[in-house]
Structure 1
Amino acid sequence: MLAKAKLIEQLKIKSLFMIMVVLYLLVCVFSVLAVYQAQNSQHHTLEALALNNQQLENIASKTALLKTNFARLVLKKEGNSRQLAITNTRWYLSFQQPIYLVFTSPLHLFFTLVLFVIGWLVQKKLQEELVIKLKPLRQLERWASVTLMQGSSNALAIDNSSQEIETITLAIRQLQQQINDNAANDIAWDQSIRASALLDQETRIGNRAFFDNRLQALLKEDDAQGAVFLIQFKEIDLVQNLYGYQQAMSLLLTLIQVTKQRLQDQPGYFLARHSDDELSVLIPNVFIKDVEKLADLLLKKLASVVMPVGINQEEFVHIGISYFGAEQVPYQIMSEADMALRAAQLQGPSQWFMFEAGELAVVKAKGSLKWRTLLNAAINGNGFVIFFQPVIASDSAKVLHHEVLSKVKDKNGTLISARVFFPMAQKCGLMVQIDLLILVQVCRMLTAKKAQQNKCSINISIDSLLSVGFAEKFISILSSFPEVKDQLMIEISEYQLVNHLSKLQPTLAALSTAGVKIIADKVGQYVVSARYINIYPIYAMKLHRSIVIDIDKKIENQVFIQSLKTLAAAKNIPVYALGVEKQAEWRALLQLGIKGGQGHFFTEPVAQAVQAIALD
């Protein structure tokens, strides 16, 4: 299809050509008519002379007339000539055809040449003028073609040299502005919809739906792997209560910015607000070693943010991590991250936690409701199994006491370790019931097998120790088993002993008076003051496994043990080591004067077949 400007140009040239042709034809017609008129005039002149046949014969024989080659006197008709009869004679006046005479005339040939030259010059001039006049129209056509090819309109730059083109371009520009305004409104509306649907309105980062969408999309990719971080800021609500909404939101935005800065080297990460005081981070295509390093750095950065006065800096940040592959589903991943977060919170101070590979293989990640159902069923149906792991004396290899470890059975009979179910029991508010149930089971076990089991230590959660009336319930149960009350010890994390010093003191004093011995557990896991040994009636101290691992190679840990042993010796408190795995470690611990050791180097925990025990 020809362009409009090209079509106009062709029409103009064609019009010029038609004019020239018409002019030429008119000249030819009038020339032929003139020749006709001249021939007729000569015929009339000859007839006016009224010559007879003899006279006409004499005229025909004259050379002068014959050389004119314009008219001849002949006695018979000729097919290719124009012949006019002379009245009252047998003679004809013969002429060449007028059309032949015109088109063979030199004058006519000259006229034709001149007309062709003039027509060519006029055409050139007309084309030059059309190029100038049609330039805006050509620009408009090019703009329209580019717009059709690109699917969007560009800026219209046209030379408005004519009133018509100026009117057209003005109308187009107005339409363009309306289209752009409508498109901008549509984009703004779309962004508004997306923001309301996928962005947290307070922090302007992704919301929970945004995060879930990204996680689902990632899991559909081939060989997908990555990690989910659940980051909880424990006392944001307290900041708001003490200092107001603006201060709390300012602190949260600062923490978000710190998180972004730490994650900026991670390509393709997604950050969202999971709840009021929780952030969720999705990091795709990352290896587990990199996840551990990133968790350390992120925790360090977040813990360095200055908290307002009255906010516990040491327990402000907890991170739960779930490392996943393509075979997992979003619900399982998020549940595992939530379980890891509860495990981190259970430890106390700011830290991160991630279950080891395969640790959750025996139990599918569950939400809070399913965990509550499982744990309530275990409580009501005596679904807890207790294990005993001995603490071995360093000087005689005798058993000093046994630590009680517990697991819970699910509906399929699979045993779930305390490391997995304790955090969820704490979240569901069931720790008090579980601790008291395990206490009853241990007391009955010691009563039934008193000769085999000597002293036992039970891990008691901080939730139970801080709950109202727990000490009374504990002592009441002990009173039902008077023969074993002197054999019971409870283990409490050193960090909790320091962090809840004033709150725990009455409870531990009451238990100690009732004959229960107190063991400070996980000593050395965090850097805290050991002055608690001057406040609590501490019976023994048990080193955290992080101090014991490769103790034969770690001079700094050996120095720590020597310093701790000096403090404990002043109070006549023995120090035990937890997590002894190798002979070299045990040999180094003996040289450092440790009084007892516990771990797989000595024996695996011994499972006790616990029968269904009623609490009546």
Structure 2
Amino acid sequence: MEHESLGRLLSSQSLSTNEQSIDALTQSNEYLKALIEFVTSVIHINSVEEVIWLLTDEIIGKLGFEDCVVYLFDESTNLLHQKSAFGAKNPAAREILDPITLAPGEGIVGQCFIEKQAILVADTRLERDYIVDDSARLSELAVPIVVDDKAIGVIDSEHSQSHFYTQHHLNTLDAIASVISTKYANVSAITRLEQTIEELEEFKKLQQAIFDVAELVYLSSSLDDFYARLHRVLLRLVRAESFFICLFDELKDCLEFPYCFDTEMGGVFDFCIEREDFPRSMTAQVVLSQRPCLYQAQDIANFFQKNKIILRGKLPHSWLGIPFTTVDGVKGAVAIQNVSEEVAFTAKDSELLVYVSHQISIALKRKNDEALLQHLALHDDLSGLANRTLFLDRLKHALSRDVRSQEFKTVIMFLDLDRFKLVNDAYGHQVGDALIRAVSQRIGECLRGSDTLARLGGDEFAILIEDIEQIEQVEQLAQRIIQALNSPILLDDISIMTSASIGIVQSSCHIHQASEMVKLADNAMYQAKADGKGRFVFCRTDQESLVVDVLTIENELANAIEKRQFFLEYQPVLSLGDEKVVGFETLIRWQHPQKGVIYPDFFIDVAEKSGQIIEIDKLVLEMACQRLLIWQQEITTPFYLNVNVSSNTLATHNFLANFIEIVGQFELAANTLNIEITERALIDNLKNARVLLRSLKQLGHKIILDDFGTGYSSLSYLHQLPIDVVKIDRSFVMSIDESEASLSIVRAIISLANSLHMKVVAEGIEHDSQLAALRALHAHFGQGYFFYRPMGQEAAHKLLDSQVC
């Protein structure tokens, strides 16, 4: 368009050269020079406003015009606005005298804009649409500025002389308008590009922040850590001087603020708002109404004047609060505020905070699930006491401290109620359960605050006593417990007489394992029962009695490894949806030449202590690969084998190389050999375990976490590791149909696994009621005696054959 306008201008100049005088030609050349000057100057200008002021400041006067005004259309007002001027309308630099606005179609300028055609009025006295601006003039020339067939403005010039404007004037202004439209298009394109780049940068920043926030839910070690990290991420997106998170505590009937940051008040603090102050709290109104609120300075000032807000520090200039409700029904809100007037929050900030509030609700749900899961995993649901897992963990730490200090001050008691079975049989399980709770209370009343009382199961209890200075203290405690339990216990108008037999063991340099110490206390307890019940017996140990059996097993294991006296059995893993076998867990057995088949419970602990487990794991892996290869050649049904790898083996520096060497001897199908590991294998060396497991996954092997739920440390690490499957420990599965606590644990594990995109295998299914409960919770897979016991290779082969479609 610009070139066409210049062409018309040059053509009119050639024509006028032939028809007009030399003076007219000279004038035309001046016009052309002015136009070229305008085009040249415009090149270096990057805004349309600068271009049109250049036109009126530098060019229009050289065309011999008395007056000129440039109008630009404003879409927000739908009006043409005067944006630059020459002549009487421009009394001072970049100033427009009494600027007016015109609607499209109004006056000569409005018609020119609508029609997108130049209008030349020879005598305005004859033009009824002529509109007088600053003063009446006799002729007018209006030329549209058009970009992509869309009018964006008008160049309008008026003259005191009628019939002043010629076709040559029109062509000149048309060429100028064309230059402006081209510049407008270029500037708009650059502006759009810059805006797009800026939006992309903002979007990238937002996406990264959203990813970071979502990741925090799994990376944070605690809710306090999550809140602090969340605040740091939010500061990258929003300038907020204060950041608050509050939760409504229904029991206390108050608003608690677990995280508050306020620049004015000097950092992080916490506080609560009581019920009587709710009407004067903006945060409380957000929580109770569950509606977002965005308040600016005037709103907040009005609230303050009407005594409707609680003021802490200075009056906010801008305040934004977003509510949330967790899946568990906990109500809360997240709020930000600024005291300074520099930044006021917008609807965009509100959208961001809605996402943040959603992540807070997810984090609260996850942390509450973890807390519940940890509590249930570590406590007995009937008595509320520590369970075996927690007891052994505390005992292990106590023994480690004894070894470091070489001061053996740890003692445990193993208690078993006498005649408990008679109570259950005579009065039923309800009375038996009540007796367990009453006994727990009586024993607890005899203990120090630092002692740990645990229920190991049934009517068995254990007590961990640390920092014992004299053994007489233990004897006195045992006597107090026996006396406390000798008194009748009244339950539902039934007077129950009971007593306890107690076995006691003190730590020594010869005891290395917590389970070993519990076993010794258990033996002492049976000795107490044999001696007449209702009494306590100390277990005295020496090095020889503890070591002889271990040395025998180690020697026999060495011979078994050399002669490959091990074989595998296979326990099917089934899909709980259709009860189809999808794979097997491989289980090691020792074919002892004199003692027959020996199960791993007898020798695995010894093998792990001696380091022989590493060679045993190699043999198991090799046998599993051999069997897998044979079955893959004979059976078309898809299946897999799970191989257990001990923490000792996983920790060896050359484990991965040995694994690749063994598996590489067999051409196994992808995703058919899975690796089962325990929590201990993870916690002993988390960093190395993470690298190792990722390498195994890259080789095409799924990772299964065994016995999940019996420990608690893995909850903090689970999301950091490339785990594919978690196996729920059989202790929870076996009581899922009877114990609400076990049901809650299994539900929490499945929920956690689903959130981390992991599958779940339930171990130890023995009854149809357990299966029904697991199906109701949407557990994916299961194994147990209800389906199949561990079987030999021939039986496993036939089972797979029977499933061929």
TM range (shorter): 0.3 to 0.5
Bigger-Rg structure (1/2):
1
- Per the normalisation by structure 1, the TM-score is 0.45
Q: Which has the higher helix share?
A: 1
So what's the TM-score if we normalise by structure 2? Answer: 0.35
Q: Relative to total residues, which structure has the larger strand share, 1 or 2? A: 2
